[in-house]
Every structure is written in C-alpha cells, then in structure tokens.
Structure 1
Amino acid sequence: METERSWADLPHETLVEILKRVGFEELYMAVPLVCKAWRTASLDRACWQRVNMESCFCNRTESSAWWQPVFEGKVDYMLKLSVNRSAGSLLELSTRHCSSSALIYLVSRCPSVRHVSVASSRGVTDLAICQLAKSCPQLEHLDVSECANVGLKSLEQIGLSCKYLRVLKKNRFIGDYDPARKSRLPPEYSRTPSPSHADAEVSVIATYMSNLKHLELRHSKISNQGLLTLVEGCTDLEYLDLVGCLNLTRGTIEEAAAKLPNLKELRRSTAPVRTSDVARYGHWQLYDERFQSGFFQF
C-alpha cells in the first residue's frame, strides 16, 4: 500500500514557493501554527518580498478606532516585522494607517523596494516620503492617497530622485461629501485644498514626473488650466483618473485627452458624489470586527 505523505514532508524550497502565494493574514497568523516545517518555511525571506496588508482593512464593520495612535502602532509593528523577516529583500508593500517612523524603517533597510502603497496614513509626512525618494531610487509605484500630510515637497523630491516611477496615486480624501462621516474624522481630513494648491501639485508632477504611465487624482480641486499643464508635461500617460474633479469641464477634459497619444483609459465624472459612492470607495475605513478579532492584538 502507498503511504500517505504529509505536506510537511515537502522540500523546504517547495513549501516556500507555495507560501509565497498565501495572503498576509494567513502567513502572519495561521501558517506558523501548522507544524515546525511550515513555520520554518514561513520565516524564509522569500515569503516576505511582497507584503500586501490590504485584506486586513477590507470587508469589516466600520469603526473610528483606526484613528487612534494605538492602532497605528499595531500596523507599524506588523510593517517592521515584515521588513525584518524579509532581511532587506522586501520589494513591494501595500498597507494603510502606518506612521512616518515605520516607513523610514522600511526604506532604511530595503533600498530596493519598488512598490509602496501607504494610502490613508495620516501619520506619514513629507519627511518620510522624501527619505523614501532619496533611499529608494528604483521606486516604480507610489500610492499616497488620502495622506493629508504629504504635499509639494514630497512630490518634488520623488520626481527628482525616482526616475523609474511609472504609477502615482494621489487621490484626495472625500469624507467632506458626507457630513455624518466627517464629524467623526480628525480635523486635518476635513480641510479642503484650494484649486491653486491642487494646480501647484500637478505642476510639480508635470515638471518632474514626465515618465508617468498611470496617474490617479480622484477628487482633486485641479482647475482646467491645471489639467492642461499636466498633460503638457506627462505625455506618456496611459491611465488617468479624474473622478470627482468637479472643477473640470467636459470640453477641457476632452482637449486634454486628445493631447495624450498613448492614453488607454480615462476615468472622469462631473456629477456630485453620492453617499453610496463614498461607501463604495471607502477603503479608508477601519473595521470593528477586525479590531476586536485579535488580529491586531499582540
């Protein structure tokens, strides 16, 4: 009779290849508890080259707890743990609600990182993003959507230092479209940047990031002139998201699109944002069930 073989009997290299395809939560919490062989494989640096924590912030009941420093500290802990387990080989990071100190910890130890997404991180500032730009010149993808403390200084430094950048996501927080929601948010997220500020940002993008292929500016206050300035500088754009940019006219959007010969997809809207749209977009939400589940308790 053939004897049944356990997954634990698989060669270490094979287990590692399997676990590289496992989600962050499972790799962080479940896999190490299966058996010694699985735990050993889960600690291999190859399993931590691509860290995606997005599932930790999805499909849960909304809560205001994520605004508290204690939660940010827990996210920081997991981010630093991932950096340590990667032994400096981390290439891609997607998370939310982290701090500048955690991001600086990442870039100081993983200079080859190419994909960084820290959306909805009010603790991330220009200081950390500038350090990212200087330390990680091979950066190709950056998402600083809804990062209220990331501004012109960061964009300019990224443009000067990261010549391989192809994807930039600088979507603005849209909580101000929902008064009931806004009352529960930190004060800095209720600020509404002026059109002149938005135009200054796109001017920096046009000047220093001419090689961009993918740009997202959801709910920006960008003006018609700002958009035309943008497309004059970023002629290689293939994807442009202008959803919720209510200062733009249809004619100017069409004129701008005509100046982008490689454009494959243009997302736009000129209608007011509905509450249902806010809920659908709501990836800044933190969730009661997740916070109480024990996943963030260590």
Structure 2
Amino acid sequence: MEGYNQDNTADSGELARDWAGLISECLRNILSRLSLEDRWLGAMLVCKAWLQECKDPTLNSVLDLETNFDSVTELPRFWTPEFESRIDNVIISVVGWSNGSLSEIRVRHCSDRSLSLVARRDGNLEAAAIGNSMPHLLQLELQFSKLMGVGLDLICEGCLDLEYIDLSGCRSVSRRAIENAKSKLKKLEIKKPNIYITRSVLRWERHDY
C-alpha cells in the first residue's frame, strides 16, 4: 500500500508538470492571435502568469505599431514627450523580450532613447542598437526619427538581410547616405525622406544655436 501511494504520488507529480506545460503552450497560442495592443492593454494586465507568457520571444518577433497610426489622423498628442515615452517603453520591452528574434519593426514618434538603452548606452544610439540586436531584420520603419547618415551605415552593417526601410520625415539623412546604404545592400529598398536638412542648419542644431 505504501509503495502504491509513492507510485501514485510520483505519477501525479509528472501529470501536473505535463499539464503545466500544456496550459502554457495553449495560452501562448491564444495570445499569438491577439494584436500587440490587445496584449498590452488586456492580457498583460490579467495576472503575472499571463504577463510572463506575453514576454515569450515567439510573441515578440514582430513589432508593428504602424497599424495603430494608420487608423487615425496625426494628433497633437503624438508629438508630446509623454507619448514619445510610451512608444519608447514599448520598443525597449519588445526588443528585450524578443531575445534576438525580432525580424520586423515598424514604429514612429519614438526617440533615440528607446533603442540606445538596448545597446547599453554605447553612444551610437538607436542605429547601433538595431544593428547589434536585430541581425535578421527584414523591414524597418523609422518615420520622423532623428536618424543620421552614420546611423544608417550602422544599420546596414548589422542588418545584412534588410530589404526595406522607411525614412519618411528623417530630415537628417542625406541623399549621399541613402546612396551609400543602397551600395552596401543591393536588395535594399528605401523610402526616402520627403524633407532634407541642409548642412549649415544641421551644424547649428548640433551646437544648440
């Protein structure tokens, strides 16, 4: 009888572990069907277990915030420091949770701070973070970011599979920098900025004149 109880207890423990793994897998499957917004504003707030599942790398291989902007017109609040900080927090979290599996990122209204923290503040800001943390990146949208020519070079050096990059509104990226990027990555398609900043103005901005 004693032996039976021991065997039964062992079987129960093994069964519990199997069920725990199954529940986690099923939950992850359900969460994968939710949008990023639904996970952040809903599932992640349910309990700690659901929060942990939302951090799984398989759920963070794509960061697409563009759909949220496509459905609404540009609002004044999009340009506030508070809104920029929210976007930064999403980017920093997803990049960390992806564990290097991030293959697509589409964002706007973010700051250099968002990805510079991922790069452990190595001074190269978001471009170095992208190049170092996302080697398998295929598509990148950095609309209205503060990216410069040297940053674009760093991205091209680290993301050799990059096929498309949207630089709309990135006024500090020169035509020459874009041509250099295309020469490095033959398959790269670039949506060019619709505005450019002259060298003289850029020099003044750098020195806060």
What is the TM-score with the length of structure 2 in the denominator? 0.67
Give, in angstroms, the shift of residue 69 of structure 1. Answer: 4.2
Q: Which residue of 1 aligns with 2:172?
A: 149
After superposition, what is the alpha-carbon deviation per residue over 1:78-126, rounded to whole angstroms, capped at 9, x for unaligned?
211110010111100011112345233233212221111112x242222
- Find 2:45's aligned residue among 23, 33, 38: 33
After superposition, residues 214-293 of structure 1 pair within 5 angstroms as none
After superposition, residues 44-193 of structure 1 pair within 5 angstroms as 44-60=56-72, 62-101=74-113, 102=115, 103-104=126-127, 105-119=129-143, 121-165=144-188, 167-170=189-192, 172=194
Structure-2 separation of matches of 1:35 and 1:10: 18
**Does residue 28 of structure 2 align to residue 12 of structure 1?**
no
Unaligned runs of 5+ in 1: 1-7, 174-187, 193-298
1:91–1:110 Cα contact (<8 Å) kept: yes
DSSP-derived class of the 1:11 partner: helix
Unaligned runs of 5+ in 2: 1-19, 116-125, 199-209
Structure 1 stretches of at least 4 aligned residues deviating more than 6 Å after TM superposition: none
May I ask how many residue pairs the two structures share in their alignment?
167
1:71 counterpart letter in structure 2 = F
1:163 counterpart letter in structure 2 = K
1:126–1:150 Cα contact (<8 Å) kept: yes
1:169 counterpart letter in structure 2 = K
**Larger RCO (alpha carbons 8 Å, 6+ apart):** 1
Instruction: Choose 1 or 2 for highest CA Rg.
Output: 2
Give, in angstroms, the shift of residue 26 of structure 1. Answer: 1.5
Q: Which residue of 1 aligns with 2:35?
A: 23
1:100–1:128 Cα contact (<8 Å) kept: no
1:113 counterpart letter in structure 2 = L
Q: Which has the higher helix share?
A: 2
DSSP-derived class of the 1:93 partner: strand
1:43–1:65 distance in 2 versus 1, CA, 3 Å: same
1:11–1:116 distance in 2 versus 1, CA, 3 Å: same
1:72–1:125 distance in 2 versus 1, CA, 3 Å: farther
2:131–2:157 Cα contact (<8 Å) kept: no
Give, in angstroms, the shift of residue 163 of structure 1. Answer: 3.1
1:76–1:99 Cα contact (<8 Å) kept: yes
2:133 counterpart letter in structure 1 = R
State the identity %: 29
Give, in angstroms, the shift of residue 41 of structure 1. Answer: 1.8
